[in-house]
Copies of this chain bind each other. A is one copy, B any other.
Amino acid sequence: MSGERLIYLPLGGAGEIGMNAYVYGYGKPGKERLMLVDMGVAFPDMDTSPGVDLILPDLGWLVENLNRLDGILITHAHEDHIGALGHLWPLLKKPVYARKFTATIGRLKFEEAGLPLDAIHTIEARPAAVEIGPFTVQFLPVAHSIPESSALIIDTPAGRIIHSGDFKRDPTPVVGEGWDDALMEAVAAEAPVKALMCDSTNVFSLHPGRSEASLAEPLTEMIKGAGGMVVATTFASNVARLKTLAEAARAADRSICVLGRAMKRMISAAQETKVLTGFTRIVSPEEALEIPRRNLMLLVTGSQGERRAASAALSRGKYLGFEMKQGDTFLFSSKTIPGNEKGVLKIVNAYSEMGVDVVDDSNGKYHVSGHANRPDLEHVHRTFLPDMLVPMHGEHRHLREHVRIAHEAGIAGIIATNGMMVDLTGEVPKVVEHIEAGRVYLDGTAQVGALDGVVRDRIRLALNGLAMVTVILDEQNEPLGDAWVELMGMSQTGLGDRALNETMETELTEFMSRASGKILSDDDKLDEALKRIVRQVAMEEIGKKPEVRVVISRLSAE
């Protein structure tokens, strides 16, 4: 191990979907020069991260090794690849490289965060290349559900790595470059591929993926057949879908109005960078309100049921002057990401109550995925014939299945999840170290470690409710007044409809009146005793134990 080595270290995205952050290094062990690919976020949920705004990868290890880090690359502008840029870049302060559209989105984030725009460098697609420490990197256009998604060709002294990024094998993605088999074969012919680091999201989808272009006809037909207003939602960043939907609407003689900040931002970034051209004129909400319903289509955000997005807002009633009515159509040109089902169904049922016809993708006609399905993954394996396959971007089950497929094809593979440092130098990948990798919660403007207990406390409060106890003692450890209990998130009444806090106060005051000086004078002992009483009373009266906080005030003569 005295020689140099090529390492791979996922800090996010390996063992989960979301929060992509992958480190590559080359050099002597422990002295490798490093680069980071992607800085994504994951999204919180009520079950595991209530109240949290965003989930960020813990870049602690990179910060400790900051003097070895030479740059940051962003493969594409989806939030799970770029979302942490504005929040975590200040920890790293290294140059950021991306293609034009992605860089534009990155600069919008930098602008909001007050960061220096010139830290983001626009890189052209292959054959342009950028040197980052010992690495020479080319951006290789692939199709995905956002413009300018790129794989990376990473040439290292130990051989060539292909980092797939998120991709699908779609030759006609409507916007941006399609997947080009000939180009990929040319790349494969240039140099042997040591390792293919590969998107795993759709490894369980057994049929070949369909092209974005296949949606135009069914969408046009559906929109032509609709009677009232049509409202369509999809992922805000799916610029190709927005174009397909807009053209379908035009063919049905409908004007387009866009509701939702994220969607407007994506469209204008795509137009500004010229990846989107010939997009139909967008009318303003004010204009739209003057257009007959059957000549109007709204494109709106909120395909995942997000409470604050336009889809949900319209399902609750009037929004920006628009109101859905009997005979209107609402189209989900999207799939529901696992975990979002209830939010989406809430909207569907609200529209049902309004008499709105909801059309979703259950027949498979109005949406295609942005990720490569199993047969397409296998095709890509065959194209690049790597020495080894390292699956990324997937839960453990995806990574495991992806490795299984590689093994079947005679390709070495390894399941490397967040924090596992893999040495790619030899014939087969080898785990050489385990790094502490984790999650950081963006909570308001604060960053809170996932293991700091803050969110654990919130979950406990949500499950158990809270009893707050206040007692006051004088210098002689004599109670001043009675104990005081406030309840939050708990039944206010216990057995026989008595006020629960009063029952607690009676018991606590009674206890204080006969407690020994040894207990009354010792904050810890007193706290413990009072908590025990509160829990006991709660258990008897309402059959569950709340969280308890005790505030002991000791007054001294002044």
Contacts and interface: CB of A to CB of B under 8 A. Distances in A.
Interface of A: 15, 45-47, 50-51, 204, 338-339, 341-343, 345, 348-349, 352-353, 358, 362, 395-397, 400, 443-446, 448, 452, 454-455, 457-459, 461-466, 468, 470, 472, 480-481, 484, 486, 488-494, 538, 541-544, 547, 549, 551, 553, 555, 558
Contacts of A486: 549, 551
Contact of A444 (B345, B444, B544, B549): B544
Nearest to A488: B457
23 contacts: A45-B342, A46-B47, A47-B47, A51-B464, A51-B489, A339-B342, A349-B396, A349-B397, A352-B400, A443-B542, A444-B538, A444-B543, A444-B544, A445-B542, A454-B492, A462-B462, A468-B549, A468-B551, A470-B553, A472-B555, A484-B553, A488-B549, A555-B555
A491 B555 contact: no
Contacts of A358: 397
Contact of A454 (B446, B465, B553): B465
A317 to B, nearest CB: 16
Contacts of A46: 46-47, 50, 462
Contacts of A400: 352
Contacts of A481: 553, 555
Given A349-B396, A457-B489, A446 B553 contact: no
A551 B462 contact: no
Nearest to A45: B342
A358 to B, nearest CB: 7
Contacts of A463: 50-51, 458
B542 A444 contact: yes
B549 A551 contact: no
B543 A446 contact: yes
A538 to B, nearest CB: 8
Leading 9 A-B pairs by shortest Cβ distance:
A445-B543, A444-B544, A444-B543, A462-B462, A458-B489, A50-B462, A446-B491, A461-B461, A51-B463
A494 B464 contact: no
Contact of A446 (B50, B342, B444, B542): B542
Contacts of A353: 396
Contacts of A494: 446
Given A448-B491, A491-B448, A465 B470 contact: no
Contacts of A444: 491, 538, 542-544
A209 to B, nearest CB: 17
Interface centre among A45, A443, A484 (most CB of B within 10 A): A443
A198 B488 CA distance: 42
A437 to B, nearest CB: 15
Contacts of A50: 46, 462-463
A465 B342 contact: no
Given A457-B488, A458-B465, A481-B553, A352 B396 contact: yes
A466 B464 contact: no
Given A15-B349, A47-B47, A553-B553, 17 more contacts: A46-B47, A46-B50, A47-B342, A51-B465, A338-B342, A339-B342, A352-B395, A358-B397, A444-B491, A444-B542, A444-B543, A446-B541, A448-B491, A461-B466, A472-B555, A484-B551, A555-B555
A413 to B, nearest CB: 14
A94 B535 CA distance: 36
A50 B342 CA distance: 15
Nearest to A545: B444
Contacts of A342: 45, 47, 338-339
A264 to B, nearest CB: 25
Nearest to A456: B489
Contacts of A339: 341-342
Contacts of A454: 465, 489-492
A406 to B, nearest CB: 16
Given A46-B50, A488-B461, A494-B446, A345 B395 contact: yes
Contacts of A343: 47
Contacts of A349: 15, 395-397
| Among A15, A452, A462, A555, residue most surrounded by chain B Cβ atoms (within 10 Å) | A462
A100 to B, nearest CB: 32
A325 to B, nearest CB: 15
Contacts of A553: 470, 472, 481, 484, 553
Contacts of A443: 491, 542, 544
A459 B457 contact: no
A395 B352 CA distance: 9
